[in-house]
Amino acid sequence: MKRSSREIRRIARDMLNNRYTVPMGAFVTAGLIPALIEIPFSMSAGDYPTTTQLIITTAARFLLLLIGQMLSIGVFLVQLNMTRKKPFKLVQVFQPFRERTDRYFGAVLLYTLLVLLAGAPAIAGTVWFSYTGPTAACVAVLILSCLLSIFLIVAFMLNYQLIYLFLLDDPQMKVTAAFRASRRLMKGNKQRLLSLFVGFLGWGGLIVCSFGIAALWAVPYMTQVLITFYLDCTEELDRIPVRDYGRESGSFINPFF
């Protein structure tokens, strides 16, 4: 069944109801670890870094970006297990570093490089603008290059946003096979995913206006929306039973370890 974007968002909210603690903790963990590791590199660079320091800092930040993406796969695993009524705990955030790490790291690296490639027109336009100055022609080129990059990035994400979920579901699947599977699954489903992305813009504005505090609720919700969309596309969502809130609220399970 192909559910509407509105219905997918409703189901995602329903899945998170009374269970925000672990998804929120997983999001904080995945964001805090790279941020803490990055602090020494920023402090060592100083206000006027040398070329060597700049190269080291840039390389470190790129590596931390990949580590953050690996942790985000763990966040997907936590909320995927929660949706499927399997045990879900905070320590599952680190699962991609424990089993078949090469697959996840390869997927993260390839995904990040392709996103950077899609953003190359905007990067080139920005560099050219900084060297030539704010002339009318330069401004026009900068705007057009940024619009082109936005189009390429959105098109890429509409095709390959679900690759990590495929890798989590099939431990034997290769990285390139996950990209192909995601592209096949998205045929006929891109419009619905685009509608979900547009809905995320409002949450992004709320995060900015709240100085990031709203991200504690918004990011787990957006992650759950993507998972719900994935399960709907694979038709697994039709087989997931309705939650029993009364039974769940009457029992306590340690959600962290």
Quick one: three-class SS letters along the chain?
CCCCHHHHHHHHHHHHCCCCHHHHHHHHHHHHHHHHHHHHHHHHHCCCCCHHHHHHHHHHHHHHHHHHHHHHHHHHHHHHHHHCCCCCCHHHHHHHHCCCHHHHHHHHHHHHHHHHHHCHHHHHHHHHHHHHCCCHHHHHHHHHHHHHHHHHHHHHHHHHCCHHHHHHHCCCCCHHHHHHHHHHHCCCCHHHHHHHHHHHHHHHHHHHHCCCCCHHHHHHHHHHHHHHHHHHHCCHHHHCCCCCHHHHHCCCCCCCC
Domain ranges, ordered by start, for the chain: 5-246
pTM: 0.86
Q: What is the pLDDT along the chain (257 residues), one digit of tens a residue?
A: 688 889 999 999 999 988 899 999 999 999 999 888 888 776 766 666 677 777 877 888 889 999 999 999 999 999 999 999 899 999 999 999 998 899 999 999 999 999 999 999 999 998 888 888 778 888 888 899 999 999 999 999 999 999 999 999 998 999 999 999 999 999 999 999 999 999 898 888 889 899 889 999 999 999 999 999 999 999 998 888 655 444 444 444 444 44
